[in-house]
C-alpha cells in the first residue's frame, strides 16, 4: 500500500510538472509570435518607387 501511494504521488507530481512546463512553453511561443508580428515589415505600397541601392 505504501509503495502504491509513493507511485501515485510521484505520478501526480510528474503530471503537475508537465502541465506547468507546457503552459510556460505555450506562453513563450505566443509571446514570440506576437513579437514577430510586430517586427514584421510591411511590403511597399503599389506604385511607390523602389529603394535605391546603397541605402537612403
- Residue 17: all three cell numbers together: 510538472
- b/e string for 21-48 if b means 16 or more Cβ within 10 A? eeeeeeeeeeeeeeeeeeeeeeeeeeee
pLDDT value of residue 47? 76
pLDDT value of residue 54? 67
pLDDT digits (tens, 9 = 90+) for 20-46: 999 999 999 999 999 988 887 767 777
* pTM of the predicted protein model: 0.60
Amino acid at each position: 500500500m505504501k509503495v502504491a501511494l509513493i507511485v501515485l504521488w510521484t505520478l501526480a507530481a510528474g503530471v503537475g510538472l508537465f502541465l506547468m512546463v507546457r503552459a510556460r512553453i505555450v506562453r513563450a511561443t505566443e509571446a514570440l509570435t506576437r513579437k514577430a508580428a510586430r517586427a514584421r515589415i510591411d511590403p511597399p505600397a503599389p506604385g511607390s518607387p523602389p529603394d535605391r541601392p546603397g541605402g537612403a
